[in-house]
């Protein structure tokens, strides 16, 4: 019997719920932009398989709080911004300069806040129940996020882009980073789920950035492929 391949030669696995973009999409975009093969385990293991891996003893590595998680060999990691930062360092999508890298992680944290707020607006009565069980109750909260919170996030992306001294069109430094991928996905989700307010906000730099990231060759191919899952209408995911 041959010895197992070293961890660095084993394929990456993404563990996330099947059939939805969700927070798993942020991690998918890192793999896709980097051109690194990965197995989307939700599509093969199904909902029960994700439950088994995350919470029922299927993961023999470091404990996972919730999906999305990645695994390669014996290494496991969860937490969307943490996974993005880690993979960014592995795949050349994080600045080498420690201070610039810290700014990328700051932006990942802001995206996490924005997504969390946007999601809760769809689940105001019961944070853990389907949006379909609380559609009427969610209406004022969705409106509030769209009118009061979303413009602040878009204004922040505008400010970050305008104050990048390299004028590269990226958020931090002269090259693309995982922050650009995270902000792209935030913008795409806002456009999908908060469209009337997204359209009303004047954010030309942020919207142009969104379009540029979507047009990058590997991402454009992914977004046009069958592997890119449809949007879920139940949340800002």
Same domain, 87 and 145: no
Of 91, 107, 138, the position where a domain reaches its end is 91
Q: Is residue 227 domain-resident? A: no
Q: Is residue 230 domain-resident? A: no
Count structural domains, the chain.
Answer: 2
Confidence band, pLDDT 50/70/90 cuts, at residue 3:
very low
Same domain, 46 and 116: no
Mean residue pLDDT across the chain: 95
Q: Is residue 222 domain-resident? A: no
Mean pLDDT of 198-206: 98
Domain around 77? 13-91
Q: Quick one: pLDDT at residue 8?
A: 67
Q: Is residue 224 domain-resident? A: no
Q: Of the candidates 167, 161, 213, which has an alpha carbon nearest to the alpha carbon of residue 187? A: 213
Same domain, 56 and 155: no
Same domain, 18 and 55: yes
| CA-to-CA separations, 44 to 11, 39, 203, 224, in angstroms, rounded | 15, 9, 39, 21
What is the reported pTM? 0.95
């Amino acid at each position: 019997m041959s010895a197992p391949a070293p961890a660095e030669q084993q394929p990456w696995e993404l563990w996330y719920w099947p059939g939805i973009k969700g927070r798993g999409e942020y991690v998918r975009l890192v793999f896709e932009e980097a051109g690194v093969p990965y197995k989307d385990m939700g599509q093969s293991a199904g909902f029960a398989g994700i439950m088994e891996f995350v919470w029922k003893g299927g993961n023999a590595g470091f404990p996972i709080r919730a999906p999305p998680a990645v695994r390669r060999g014996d290494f496991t990691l969860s937490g969307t911004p943490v996974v993005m930062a880690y993979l960014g360092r592995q795949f050349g999508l994080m600045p080498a300069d420690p201070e610039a890298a810290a700014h990328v992680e700051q932006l990942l944290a802001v995206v996490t806040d924005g997504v969390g707020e946007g999601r809760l607006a769809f689940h105001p009565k019961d944070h853990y129940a389907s949006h379909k069980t609380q559609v009427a109750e969610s209406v004022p909260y969705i409106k509030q996020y769209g009118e009061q919170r979303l413009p602040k996030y878009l204004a922040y992306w505008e400010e970050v882009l305008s104050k990048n001294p390299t004028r590269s069109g990226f958020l931090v430094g002269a090259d693309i980073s995982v922050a650009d991928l995270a902000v792209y996905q935030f913008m795409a989700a806002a456009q999908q789920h908060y469209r009337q307010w997204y359209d009303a906000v004047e954010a030309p730099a942020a919207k142009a950035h969104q379009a540029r990231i979507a047009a990058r060759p590997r991402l454009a191919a992914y977004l046009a492929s069958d592997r890119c899952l449809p949007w879920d209408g139940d949340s800002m995911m």
